Amino acid sequence: MPILVMKFGGTSVADLERIKNAAQKVKREVERGYDVIVIVSAMSGKTNELVGWVEETSHLYDAREYDAVVSSGENVTAGLMSLTLQNMDVPARSWQGWQVPLKTSSAHSAARIEEIPRDNIDAKFAEGMKVAVVAGFQGITDEGRIATLGRGGSDTTAVAFAAAFDAERCDIYTDVDGVYTTDPRISTKAKKLDKIAFEEMLELASLGAKVLQTRSVELAMRFNVRLRVLSSFEETDENSGTLVCAEEEIMESNVVSGVAYQRDEAKMTLVSVADRPGIAAAIFGPLAEAGVNVDMIVQNISEDGRTDMTFSCPTNQVARAEQAMTKAKEDGEINFHGLVADTEVAKISVVGIGMRSHAGVAAKMFQALSSEGINIKVITTSEIKVSVLIERKYMELAVQALHDAFELENAG
């Protein structure tokens, strides 16, 4: 039998009625001839509740016990989904991560998947089981302890199972009906895409699009797992949602496929840094050690042996970055005259694999922003992306202007 992986997020299994709705979708796929592996998240709000209980019990908690507690939400959903399917006369069985077993690294709360042996689940399929309902977000370490994959880890679980079981496709059911050209809450002209390439989706996910977890898209691209993003709350067929696939499956690529934004960005500038070999390592090494997620980096032209170094990071990491740079200066690793933090910026990006073969994307982007009186503070580019930092108060205007400039309401 061909295998299909179906993943249901927290809002899709928020209560018993929604679990029943999801189970109906699973039953339809079984009737179409699939053996189905269902990956479930915890019921909406449950993981936050469990995390709150852990933090209230112990501020300096043991990460192993944290994982033991927060993974329980998915276990409950898996059992309830299996019971619901059984009531619909669908042979189903629930599986916790350790029962598969989904083997992970020992980095508790941020574990990486190392292996998913097929033997146990394949044996049950052979005995007549039609649906394996697997608790997402969790696995087991070599030491026999439960480990979780980090928030959003159920998406990664689903893609990993699709790769391990050579699934025909991995369907991600969520509260939106696909991947849009931008956030529909900002632009009423946002359009759902029928298809999007792995690389584009990876860029959009890393740039703030909340539809799929970045790690899951990386994994899908690595193992060429076809993903489909669908709504749990609408009737669906084989043409529903957005297919995330290899570039070769897309007949004609859009020059720009989407506009992404990140609201909570900060621009930090080290003023008058001594310009010498190794200075970048001396700056960004301590930042990495401090856990600062540096994104855009720009170095000004050197004058008289000194330069300015600008980088962006999330606003909630500004204090950490300032502390790391101050310590590096005190330790004599770097020398600078000042550190300026601007916490009122946003990052806007246009993404599209069509940029590889079309010139003028950056020019059109800059002209569109200029026409709205929006000043650009920092620019970075890649093969399929152009990103800028602007004042945060212009963020929504910038998204709308770029969506109009690239006529994304006509995207395929």
Task: Check whether 178 is labelled as a binding-site residue.
Answer: no
Mean pLDDT by 10 residues, the chain (412 residues): 95 96 96 97 94 92 94 97 98 97 94 96 97 97 94 92 97 90 89 90 78 88 94 84 88 83 93 89 94 90 82 94 94 90 94 86 95 94 92 96 92 68
Task: Check whether 210 is labelled as a binding-site residue.
Answer: yes
CA separation for the pair 192, 184 (Å, rounded): 9
CA separation for the pair 230, 51 (Å, rounded): 28
Q: Is the dihedral of CA 260, 266, 271, 277 positive or negative?
A: negative
Cross-strand partners of 341: 268
Residue count of the chain: 412
**End residue of a domain, out of 117, 143, 175:** 175
- 42, 171: one domain: yes
Contact 163, 152 (CB under 8 A): no
Cross-strand partners of 285: none
Task: Check whether 10 is labelled as a binding-site residue.
Answer: yes
Q: Is the dihedral of CA 124, 89, 2, 153 positive or negative?
A: negative
Task: Check whether 211 is labelled as a binding-site residue.
Answer: yes
Task: Say how many CA atoms lie within 13 Å of 354 toward its Cβ.
Answer: 19
- 318, 171: one domain: no
Task: Check whether 7 is labelled as a binding-site residue.
Answer: yes
- Domain that includes residue 41, residue range: 3-175
What's the domain count of the chain? 2
Task: Check whether 360 is labelled as a binding-site residue.
Answer: no
Query: In sequence order, which residues have a C-beta less than 8 Å from that of residue 204 and are 6 or more positions away?
Result: 179, 196, 211, 257, 258, 260, 351
Task: Check whether 185 is labelled as a binding-site residue.
Answer: yes
Task: Check whether 74 is labelled as a binding-site residue.
Answer: yes
Q: Tell me the two tokens of residue 150.
A: 């980090």
Task: Check whether 192 is labelled as a binding-site residue.
Answer: no
**End residue of a domain, out of 155, 175, 195:** 175
Task: Check whether 8 is labelled as a binding-site residue.
Answer: yes
Contact 121, 100 (CB under 8 A): yes
Decide if 186 is inside a domain. no
- 147, 264: one domain: no
Task: Check whether 9 is labelled as a binding-site residue.
Answer: yes
The closest alpha carbon to 412, from 229, 191, 231, 173, belongs to 191
Decide if 162 is inside a domain. yes
Task: Check whether 378 is labelled as a binding-site residue.
Answer: no
